[in-house]
């Protein structure tokens, strides 16, 4: 259900419809908070493309707040989570980065590594 597939043609191609904008804005909004952006970057740059909460929770806010932001990122379709024993691991939804990049630069930014 991740918004990645649905959304969208590049912003420079034609004016976005209300529906497209609604979907895309939800993803941008999720990255529109400094703490969330740091958490997201921490996960995305972590080895293996995934990280335990304990690895990334040092962003200067309380533990409930970290949990809250991770939930938001998950709801936006940017992260997925999985519990393994004591710890919970978050990983980046790969298609999302490509989709958002394509939305901005239009070109073949969809070509992933």
Residue 105: half-sphere exposure toward Cβ, Cα within 13 Å: 10
Q: Please calculate the CA angle 30-41-26 and round it to the nearest 5 degrees.
A: 15
- Is residue 39 within 8 A of residue 73, CB to CB? The reply is yes
Among 6, 41, 45, 71, binds DNA (CB under 7 A): 71
- Per partner kind, with CB cut-offs from 5 to 8 A, the member of its own copies, DNA, none near residue 63 is DNA
**Closest C-alpha among 42, 112, 52 to residue 81:** 52
**Which of 3, 4, 30, 79 forms a contact with its own copies (CB under 8 A)?**
30
What is the nearest approach in angstroms of DNA to the Cβ of residue 84?
Answer: 8
End-to-end Cα, the chain, rounded Å = 23
- Closest approach of DNA to the CB of residue 9, in Å: 22
CB closer to DNA, 23 vs 81: 81
CB of 76 to its own copies, least distance (A): 10
The CB density around residue 2, as the number of other CB atoms within 10 Å, is: 16
Q: Which of residues 67-106 bind its own copies (CB under 8 A)?
A: 92, 97-98, 100-101, 104-105
């Amino acid at each position: 259900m991740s918004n990645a597939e649905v959304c969208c043609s590049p912003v420079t191609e034609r004016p976005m419809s209300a529906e497209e904008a609604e979907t895309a804005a939800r993803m941008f909004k999720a990255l529109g908070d400094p703490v969330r952006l740091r958490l997201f970057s921490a996960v995305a740059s972590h080895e293996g493309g995934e990280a335990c909460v304990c690895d990334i929770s040092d962003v200067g806010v309380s533990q409930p707040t970290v949990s809250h932001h991770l939930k938001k990122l998950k709801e936006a379709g940017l992260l997925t989570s999985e519990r393994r024993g004591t710890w919970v691991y978050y990983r980046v939804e790969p298609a999302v980065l490509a989709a958002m990049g394509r939305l901005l630069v239009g070109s073949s930014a969809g070509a992933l590594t």
